[in-house]
Chains A and B, each alone.
Chain A
C-alpha cells in the first residue's frame, strides 16, 4: 500500500460516472458496466526476429501460448491479448503496475520491449441482454457469436475512439465484452456508453 506521500491511483471516470441505474428505469437494465481497476497492464512488442523465442519462454513460464491471430489467452490471474503482429497486452489481476512490468522486463526484456500501461488505459467490462445493440451504435465490427467468438479480440475505432474490444465468456446467460481505451479518451468514451445505453437502461457498478 502506498504511503501518505505517494499519489493514489484515481479512475479517469471518477468525475463523470454515477453508480446505480441510468437511462430507462423500467425492467432489467439491458447493459451493465463495471470498471476493471484492480489489474496491472503492460504492452509487449517482440524484438526483431525474437517472436518465436519470446513465445517459447512465455509458454515455459506461464503455460500460455502467445496468440498469433487476434485472440486472448488467459489462465488464473494472467492474460495475453494480441494487438498486432508481434505485439500483445499482458494483464495481471490484483498486481501493481510498475512491479508487474519490471517483473516482465527482468524475465523477457532481452526478447521484447515491455512498457507499463496500467495508468494509461481504462478497462471496462460490458455485459447485458442489449450490449451488442448498444455497441453497434459505435462499433463497425460484426459482434455476432458466430463471427466474433469468445476469446476473439480487435483493435478498432468505437465511436471514433480507438479501442480494444475482446469477447469474454458469457456472464450468466448474456454476452460480456471487455473494452480498453486510452485514459485520455475515457470521458468521451463514457459519454458514448451513457447515451447509447440509455434506451436499454444502464447499470453502473
Chain B
C-alpha cells in the first residue's frame, strides 16, 4: 500500500486520493487574446517526464482538498507534497529527496 502525505490530514492510503494531472499550469489571464495554438497548449499539452514530476492530487475520500505532489514516475515514489498555491519544492532528482 502506497502512503501519500496529505498536507492537511497526514499519511493516508493511496486509494483515498485521485490524481489530477500535471501541476502548476496557470490559466492564461486573457484567453481571448490567445491564438488557437496557444490555447490548445494550455488545454492539452502536458509534459510526461521520466523522473520527478509535479502533479495535482485530490484527497477525495478525506478532506477533499487539492494539493500538489512531486512523484518519481519511474519508482512511483512520492518525494514531497505541498498545499495548492505553494511554490514547487526544489527537488529535481530522487537523490535530492533523500
- List chain A positions with a Cβ less than 8 A from chain B: 70, 83-85, 87, 140-141, 154-157, 162
B93 interfacial contact with A, CB 8 Å: no
Q: How far is the CA of A102 from the CA of B13 in the complex (A)?
A: 37
Q: Chain A residues with Cβ under 8 A from B61's Cβ?
A: 155-157, 162
Contact B16 A84 (CB under 8 A): no
Q: Chain B residues with Cβ under 8 A from A154's Cβ?
A: 9, 62
User: Which of under 10, 10 to 19, 20 to 34, or 35 or more describes the interface residues of B?
Assistant: 10 to 19
Known A-B contacts A70-B10, A140-B12; the reply to A155 vs B62 at CB < 8 A is yes
59-79 of chain B: CB within 8 A of chain A: 61-65
Contact A84 B1 (CB under 8 A): no
Contact B10 A84 (CB under 8 A): no
B8 interfacial contact with A, CB 8 Å: yes
10 residue pairs A–B, Cβ–Cβ below 8 Å: A70-B8, A70-B9, A70-B10, A84-B8, A84-B64, A85-B65, A140-B13, A141-B12, A157-B15, A157-B61
- List chain B positions with a Cβ less than 8 A from chain A: 1, 8-10, 12-13, 15-16, 61-65
In the complex, number of A-B residue pairs with CB atoms less than 8 Å apart: 33
Q: How far is the CA of A84 from the CA of B65 in the complex (A)?
A: 8
CB distance from B1 to the nearest CB of A (A): 7
Contact B63 A157 (CB under 8 A): no
Q: How far is the CA of A10 from the CA of B62 in the complex (A)?
A: 28
Contact A156 B16 (CB under 8 A): yes
Told that A140-B12, A154-B62 touch, could you supply 20 new A-B pairs with CB distance under 8 A? Answer: A70-B8, A70-B10, A83-B63, A84-B8, A84-B63, A84-B65, A85-B8, A87-B63, A140-B1, A140-B13, A140-B16, A154-B9, A155-B61, A155-B62, A156-B12, A156-B61, A156-B62, A157-B15, A157-B16, A162-B61
Q: How far is the CA of A85 from the CA of B83 in the complex (A)?
A: 11
Contact B13 A85 (CB under 8 A): no
Q: Chain B residues with Cβ under 8 A from A85's Cβ?
A: 8, 63, 65
* Majority-rule SS of A interface residues: strand
CB distance from A130 to the nearest CB of B (A): 22
Q: Chain B residues with Cβ under 8 A from A156's Cβ?
A: 12, 16, 61-62
CB distance from A79 to the nearest CB of B (A): 19
Q: CB-nearest residue of chain B relative to A142? A: B11
Q: Chain B residues with Cβ under 8 A from A155's Cβ?
A: 9, 61-63
Q: Chain B residues with Cβ under 8 A from A140's Cβ?
A: 1, 12-13, 15-16
Q: Chain B residues with Cβ under 8 A from A83's Cβ?
A: 63
Q: How far is the CA of A156 from the CA of B3 in the complex (A)?
A: 13
User: When A and B form their complex, which 5 residue pairs have the shortest distance between CB atoms, in order from nearest?
Assistant: A84-B63, A140-B13, A157-B61, A155-B62, A85-B8
Q: Chain A residues with Cβ under 8 A from B10's Cβ?
A: 70
